[in-house]
Protein backbone atom coordinates (compact mmCIF):
# COMPACT_ATOMS: atom_id res chain seq x y z
CA UNK A 1 0.00 0.00 0.00
CA UNK A 2 1.35 3.38 -0.99
CA UNK A 3 1.99 5.99 1.72
CA UNK A 4 -0.59 8.32 0.16
CA UNK A 5 -3.30 5.64 0.29
CA UNK A 6 -2.38 4.80 3.86
CA UNK A 7 -2.59 8.47 4.88
CA UNK A 8 -5.99 8.76 3.19
CA UNK A 9 -7.29 5.70 5.06
CA UNK A 10 -6.03 7.03 8.38
CA UNK A 11 -7.71 10.39 7.73
CA UNK A 12 -11.01 8.66 6.81
CA UNK A 13 -10.84 6.55 9.97
CA UNK A 14 -10.17 9.61 12.11
CA UNK A 15 -13.15 11.43 10.56
CA UNK A 16 -15.39 8.41 11.09
CA UNK A 17 -14.27 8.04 14.71
CA UNK A 18 -14.88 11.74 15.39
CA UNK A 19 -18.37 11.60 13.85
CA UNK A 20 -19.21 8.48 15.87
CA UNK A 21 -18.03 10.15 19.09
CA UNK A 22 -20.08 13.28 18.38
CA UNK A 23 -23.17 11.18 17.65
CA UNK A 24 -22.63 9.24 20.88
CA UNK A 25 -22.29 12.53 22.78
CA UNK A 26 -25.61 13.78 21.38
CA UNK A 27 -27.31 10.49 22.18
CA UNK A 28 -25.81 10.56 25.68
CA UNK A 29 -27.13 14.06 26.26
CA UNK A 30 -30.63 12.85 25.38
CA UNK A 31 -30.37 10.00 27.89
CA UNK A 32 -28.89 12.17 30.67
CA UNK A 33 -31.56 14.81 30.04
CA UNK A 34 -34.28 12.16 30.31
CA UNK A 35 -32.89 10.79 33.58
CA UNK A 36 -32.45 14.32 34.98
CA UNK A 37 -36.03 15.18 34.14
CA UNK A 38 -37.32 11.97 35.66
CA UNK A 39 -35.39 12.36 38.91
CA UNK A 40 -36.25 16.05 38.96
CA UNK A 41 -39.91 15.21 39.43
CA UNK A 42 -39.03 13.98 42.92
CA UNK A 43 -36.03 16.06 44.05
CA UNK A 44 -34.15 19.11 42.86
CA UNK A 45 -36.85 20.45 40.55
CA UNK A 46 -35.32 23.93 40.02
CA UNK A 47 -31.92 22.45 39.14
CA UNK A 48 -32.69 19.23 37.28
CA UNK A 49 -35.59 20.69 35.29
CA UNK A 50 -33.56 23.33 33.46
CA UNK A 51 -30.69 20.85 33.08
CA UNK A 52 -33.04 18.40 31.34
CA UNK A 53 -34.34 21.16 29.07
CA UNK A 54 -30.86 22.35 28.07
CA UNK A 55 -29.59 18.83 27.39
CA UNK A 56 -32.69 17.98 25.37
CA UNK A 57 -32.37 21.09 23.20
CA UNK A 58 -28.64 20.49 22.66
CA UNK A 59 -29.34 16.90 21.69
CA UNK A 60 -32.18 17.81 19.32
CA UNK A 61 -30.16 20.56 17.63
CA UNK A 62 -27.26 18.16 17.18
CA UNK A 63 -29.41 15.59 15.41
CA UNK A 64 -29.58 12.76 17.91
CA UNK A 65 -30.76 9.29 16.96
CA UNK A 66 -32.71 9.25 20.24
CA UNK A 67 -35.18 11.97 19.27
CA UNK A 68 -38.02 10.47 21.31
CA UNK A 69 -35.90 10.33 24.43
CA UNK A 70 -34.79 13.94 23.89
CA UNK A 71 -38.41 15.06 23.51
CA UNK A 72 -39.32 13.21 26.71
CA UNK A 73 -36.41 14.95 28.45
CA UNK A 74 -37.78 18.30 27.28
CA UNK A 75 -41.29 17.47 28.49
CA UNK A 76 -40.03 16.18 31.85
CA UNK A 77 -37.88 19.29 32.31
CA UNK A 78 -40.91 21.50 31.79
CA UNK A 79 -42.92 19.26 34.15
CA UNK A 80 -40.19 19.67 36.79
CA UNK A 81 -40.56 23.43 36.64
CA UNK A 82 -44.35 23.19 36.79
CA UNK A 83 -44.10 20.97 39.89
CA UNK A 84 -41.73 23.48 41.47
CA UNK A 85 -44.08 26.41 40.76
CA UNK A 86 -47.08 24.49 42.13
CA UNK A 87 -45.15 23.64 45.31
CA UNK A 88 -43.98 27.24 45.68
CA UNK A 89 -47.51 28.62 45.27
CA UNK A 90 -48.88 25.99 47.64
CA UNK A 91 -46.33 26.81 50.35
CA UNK A 92 -46.84 30.55 49.86
CA UNK A 93 -50.55 30.22 50.56
CA UNK A 94 -49.90 28.94 54.10
CA UNK A 95 -50.41 25.25 53.41
CA UNK A 96 -46.96 24.05 54.43
CA UNK A 97 -43.35 24.26 53.42
CA UNK A 98 -41.75 23.84 50.05
CA UNK A 99 -40.87 20.16 50.45
CA UNK A 100 -42.18 16.69 49.85
CA UNK A 101 -43.82 14.83 52.72
CA UNK A 102 -44.08 11.08 52.54
CA UNK A 103 -46.64 9.28 54.69
CA UNK A 104 -45.11 8.08 57.94
CA UNK A 105 -41.64 9.52 57.27
Higher pLDDT among residues 2 and 49, named by residue: 49
Contact 79, 37 (CB under 8 A): yes
For the chain, how many structural domains are there in total?
A: 1
Does the residue 88 lie in any domain?
A: yes
List the domain range (segments joined by +) for residue 83: 26-92
H or E stretch at 4 = helix 3-40
Residue 63: which residues within 8 A CB-CB, separation 6 or more?
Answer: 26
Higher pLDDT among residues 82 and 23, named by residue: 82
Average pLDDT of 21-50?
88
Higher pLDDT among residues 85 and 21, named by residue: 85
Does the residue 105 lie in any domain?
A: no
Average pLDDT, the chain: 81
Backbone angles phi, psi at 95, to 5 degrees: -100, 15
* Single pTM value for the model: 0.71
Does the residue 103 lie in any domain?
A: no
**How buried is 14 (Cβ within 10 angstroms: 0-12 exposed, 13-18 middle, 19+ buried)?**
exposed
Amino acid sequence: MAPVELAARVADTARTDTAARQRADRDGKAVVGFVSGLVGLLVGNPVLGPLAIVLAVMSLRGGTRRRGRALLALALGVADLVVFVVLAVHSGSGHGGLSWHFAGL
